[in-house]
Amino acid sequence: MDRFYSLNHSSIDFLFKQTPRDFVVEELPLYEFSGEGEHLVLFVRKKSLSTLELVSLIAKYLGIKNKEIGYAGLKDKHAMTKQYISIHKQYEEAMENFSHDNVKIISKTYHNNKIKTGHLRGNRFYIKLKKVNPTSAQKIDEALKNISKDGMPNFFGYQRFGNDGDNHIEGEKVAKGEKKERNPKIKKLLINAYQSHLFNLWLSRRLEINTLVQNFKPQELESLLNMPNSELVSMKAQKHPFKLISGDIMEHYPHGRLFDFDGKEDDCKRFNDRDISPTGLLCGKKVKQSSGSARLIEKDFDDEINADGARRYAWVFPEEVEGRFKPIEAQYELNFSLPKGSYATVLIEELAKRKINDKKDIR
């Protein structure tokens, strides 16, 4: 389903339609493939197909089960995507005759192991924004500079919640045993949507708190936020737009171990330097919870469900961010890389939000 993003605030506007022509994704593998081994690794370009549809297509062609095909991540259907899949080397000759209008095998190599979910470093994106005027382009330039410098909130994108955006509603029922779902993949999908929904609500609340801390004095917020003055003073002094709170669970970035934030100035500096980043809760069992003031906020977005929980980066840092304005076409082209699990459409939405803020600033 095509998605449109547009803002119409005088000279500040753009249009984004998520189509294969305007939305291109290339997978960045976690490691280099060995070039030898019993698994054939195919670098595949697809359009208007989800990863699971691609896998089913090839499995049906080869007469094998879907689970015999390895892939690192699920790529959007409404895009031109390039990703790696693996199959056993015995099917190499059969794949020579594989043909589909929406699929092209770009290259092939070999590896010792099957590609597994999560075995990717991130994704590189190319996105085209339309109906962009020169004033809008300048605002986008400035917003991209800020995102390159400070990073962005790591919300789950709309894709996480299904075509109608309500998978989390069914997911809550399944997660609490109020509704049964026999298909294990669908069950996991629905529960993940519910966990993601709570994460997004928590992250929105943290951003609201950031705004309050930036715009009001600590003594004015003590009763409103139910936080001690010393905590608010510490948050106010932090340079980064995302304010760390005592008891936050931090993680080494872009991957590494978890540890508690106890207010040390050195950790604030490490966050500014992109060495660490705060995490949010994906509720469930066997997951580390925050503590102190951070937990007082987090607990409102926690829930006891019959599934394992996890921590997710609350803040990520896009890399190699590039922007080009094409005045004749009234288009703006973006290139950037995101870590695995982060959504390009969230960056587009963040641009939109920041443009609104810029508009307010110049009035």
Q: Which residues are catalytic?
A: 76
Q: Looking up tokens 């990073």, which residue turns up?
A: 151
Cβ within 8 Å of residue 172, ≥6 positions away: 178, 194, 303
Q: Indicate the DSSP class of residue 97.
A: T
Q: Give residue 324's identity as a one-letter amino acid code.
A: R
Distance CA 258, CA 242 (A): 18
Given phi > 0 = left and psi -120 to 50 = alpha, else beta, which region is 226? left
Give the number of other CB atoms < 10 A from CB of residue 250.
25
CA nearest neighbour of 59 among 77, 73, 71, 47? 71
Q: In degrees to the nearest 10, what's the CA dihedral of 72, 76, 81, 83?
A: 10
What is the token pair recorded at 204?
């929105």
Distance CA 166, CA 196 (A): 12
Give the number of other CB atoms < 10 A from CB of residue 286.
8
What is the token pair recorded at 183?
């298909």
Q: Indicate the DSSP class of residue 301.
A: G
Distance CA 100, CA 37 (A): 27
Given phi > 0 = left and psi -120 to 50 = alpha, else beta, which region is 45? beta
Q: Give residue 232's identity as a one-letter amino acid code.
A: L
Cβ within 8 Å of residue 202, ≥6 positions away: 280, 281, 297, 298, 300, 301
